[in-house]
Chains A and B, each alone.
Chain A
Amino acid sequence: MNILGVSAYYHDSACALIRDGNIIAAAHEERFTRKKHDPRFPHHALEYCLGEAGISFCDLDHIVFYDKPFLKFERLLETYIAFAPRGFRSFSTSMLLWLKEKLFLKKTLLSELSLHGKREDLPNVLLFSEHHVSHAASAYYPSPFNDAAILTMDGVGEWATTTVAVGKGKNIDILQEIHFPHSLGLLYSAFTYYTGFKVNSGEYKLMGLAPYGTPRYAGVIRDNLIDVKNDGSFRLNMDYFDYCTGFTMTNNKFDVLFGGSARLSEEPLTARHMDLAASIQTVTEEIILSMTGSIARDTGQKHLCLAGGVALNCVANGRILRDGAFEKLWIQPASGDAGGALGAALAVYHIHCGAERKMADGVTDSMMGAYLGPAFHQSEIESKIRSMGAVFKVVTDEELLNRCVDDLIAGKAVGWFQGRMEFGPRALGARSILGDPRSAAMQTQLNLKVKFRESFRPFAPAVLREDLSQWFELAVDSPYMLLVADVVEEKRHPMSEEEQMLFGIDKLNLVRSEIPAVTHVDYSARVQTVHKETNPLYHALITLFKEKTGCPVVVNTSFNVRGEPIVCSPEDAFRCFMGTDIESLVIGNCYLEKSAQDNKLLLDYKNSFELD
């Protein structure tokens, strides 16, 4: 049975295809169209999924959209009525959109889908799954557990913003929901907006900024913005938020409470913004821990599965793990709305069709390392980059690894393009830029010359799983870079008294450990464990790096620049290579050096993409 899941029209549209419950392919539309967070119908991702599965459009047994537009419309109407007469401008704007387009989503979907093949039964094949059911299914069904508690948290779907469920065998039972406008995701987004970052993409930045500050506003947030009950359920004080009736996240009362208006994106970041980031991160973690503690007590489950945008808060995830309320934790790597496409497909298979779930072994998930996107054959790679004028050598795997490791040791940034592309927002060693973590200058070099992004943003370490505990205070797999843990004591460099006096971004250039490029100012790191079973070549590369340097860790960041989707094809990789200070690039078995390329092919890449 072939089932296609579709997520579209809000942000990060994507498709996922499953066959008899096995995940065959999944991809974000943005990777093909090269438009970040592309919300349009995912035609390219759909064609890719069909091609990967070797089937035609008519072979699909079900197609499922990841949320229910009528329910969302109901929520909009009821929200506006609840706040009327306030919010008329927002009401009229959104109603225009709904009455012209979104209310007729089924018709739109049928029309878009029919471009991929004519079939009479299309209206019967098309199904709709609830937003948080899609998230819950994406968290539970691919997990390595036979039964687990499920927690999904995001901005908002239809009504639900937080959902607690239990998965057992093929079933998911929803136990509790928190409804709009009370939303942990929107609370975090409100601070993202207030500190001058873009809602729905700047949340990572806020999380990265938090360790530079002190949580001196946490009390103000707890006392005024949110009422948290003992079981972790919460209500926001809507007096301070504008998102139900206006076009911004926060209002004047919020500005007064925090002593100033929202930062504009071009304004400099100050200690106050860092303290705000630290404060909302602290409060978010407290609420999540309160919820997970209560869920563990109420359900008696030993395993927890997470999904929804808030589950990408890897600092909070690390705290859930250390808190110990659950023995094991599994987080869907595509926790945002793109992953809803996969969850919706799995929900149709197990819930709608009633198909049994395969027994899990408690260790291995069914995401195949999240390498679910397109791969390119060596001959295809050579032909594509040759046609672009690239100068390259074709080398054996052994030579490729040696050259890459030597380049890393020489302090070069290496573009690494191998195998199937990742599904989800993280690059995990298929479309990555790699660097030497021992270099004190690497973080600034990568941020400013390669990624063209803010200097404070941290990089993540990719570490051999077998060496994990010698370098990080973490004892479990973290293949999707969704857990934050501290560098072990013995690898840290203690701060001098003078250094301790520094605050904010002044701490950035301090050498905090033996791997300073991936050690954040609070000694934390967003760890990716690398496994031989899911990515043998990447594992071999880091193993060779360890043999030559004694360090089983490399810097891993996504292969793109600020505002650009992660590269998908060899052509994308070559363009990014020629537009940045990446010094060498490997695509399959092709090895490229920047110095060998024709200077006429250099690109002005810095201003090619709208900033996120």
Chain B
Amino acid sequence: MEFIKEFISFLKQRKKYWLFPIIFIMVLFAIMLIATQNSAVAPFIYTLF
């Protein structure tokens, strides 16, 4: 809960409201991810990520 509050406050502060729908899709993506339990591997150019 704390995380969601902080993230919404961040988007408001940055005035990036248009990112909300993308974040929503991300949440779905996350649920799918947790369901499949794939491992996350750091990509090659780690500085960028």
Query: Which of A's residues lie within 8 Å of B, judged by CB?
Result: 10-11, 39, 70-71, 74, 76-78, 81, 90, 93-104, 106-107, 155-156, 199-200, 243, 247-249
Contacts and interface: CB of A to CB of B under 8 A. Distances in A.
B8 to A, nearest CB: 11
A74 B42 contact: no
A1 B6 CA distance: 27
Contacts of A70: 6-7, 10
A99 B43 contact: no
A248 B43 CA distance: 10
Sort A-B residue pairs by CB-CB distance and give the 9 closest, nearest first: A96-B40, A97-B40, A99-B30, A100-B40, A155-B47, A70-B10, A94-B49, A247-B44, A93-B43
Contacts of B35: none
A74 B19 contact: yes
Interface string B17-35: 0010010001001100100
B38 A199 contact: no
A11 B48 CA distance: 11
Contacts of B14: 71, 74
B3 A155 contact: no
B46 A247 contact: no
B33 A77 contact: no
B29 A95 contact: yes
Looking at chain A's contact residues, the main secondary structure is helix
12 contacts: A10-B47, A11-B46, A74-B16, A76-B49, A78-B19, A93-B43, A97-B42, A98-B49, A99-B30, A107-B3, A156-B48, A199-B45
Nearest to B14: A74
A85 B45 CA distance: 20
A243 B3 contact: no
Interface of B: 3, 6-7, 10, 14, 16, 19, 22, 26, 29-30, 33, 38, 40-49
Contact of B48 (A78, A101, A155): A155
A502 B43 CA distance: 42
Contact of B19 (A77, A99, A199): A77
B3 A97 contact: no
Contacts of A107: 3
Contact of A97 (B19, B29, B41, B45): B41
Given A39-B46, A104-B3, 12 more contacts: A81-B22, A94-B49, A96-B38, A97-B43, A99-B30, A99-B40, A100-B40, A156-B48, A199-B45, A243-B45, A243-B48, A248-B44
A93 B49 CA distance: 10
A156 B29 contact: no
Contacts of A76: 49
Contact of B26 (A71, A81, A95, A243): A95
Contacts of A71: 14
A99 B6 contact: no
A248 B45 CA distance: 7
A200 B42 CA distance: 15
B42 A100 contact: no
B33 A96 contact: yes
B27 to A, nearest CB: 9
Contacts of A247: 43-45
Nearest to A249: B45
B14 to A, nearest CB: 7
> Which of A81, A99, A243 counts the most chain B CB atoms within 10 A?
A99
A582 to B, nearest CB: 33
B43 A100 contact: no
A324 to B, nearest CB: 33
B43 A11 contact: no
B46 to A, nearest CB: 6
Given A74-B16, A77-B19, A104-B3, A99 B33 contact: yes
Given A10-B46, A74-B16, A200-B47, A101 B22 contact: no
A453 to B, nearest CB: 23
Nearest to B19: A77
A93 B45 CA distance: 12
> Which of A76, A94, A96, A98 counts the most chain B CB atoms within 10 A?
A96
A104 B7 CA distance: 10
A104 B30 CA distance: 13
A64 to B, nearest CB: 17
Contacts of B33: 96, 99-100
Nearest to B37: A100
> Which of B7, B16, B43 counts the most chain A CB atoms within 10 A?
B43
A134 to B, nearest CB: 15
B49 A97 contact: yes
Nearest to B7: A70
A71 B11 CA distance: 10
> Which of B7, B16, B45 counts the most chain A CB atoms within 10 A?
B45
A99 B26 contact: yes
A97 B43 CA distance: 9
Contacts of B26: 95, 99
A247 B3 CA distance: 30
A93 B47 CA distance: 14
A39 B14 CA distance: 29
Nearest to B9: A70
Contacts of B46: 10-11, 39, 200
A341 B23 CA distance: 30
Nearest to A102: B49
B40 to A, nearest CB: 4
Contacts of A90: 43
A102 B40 CA distance: 11
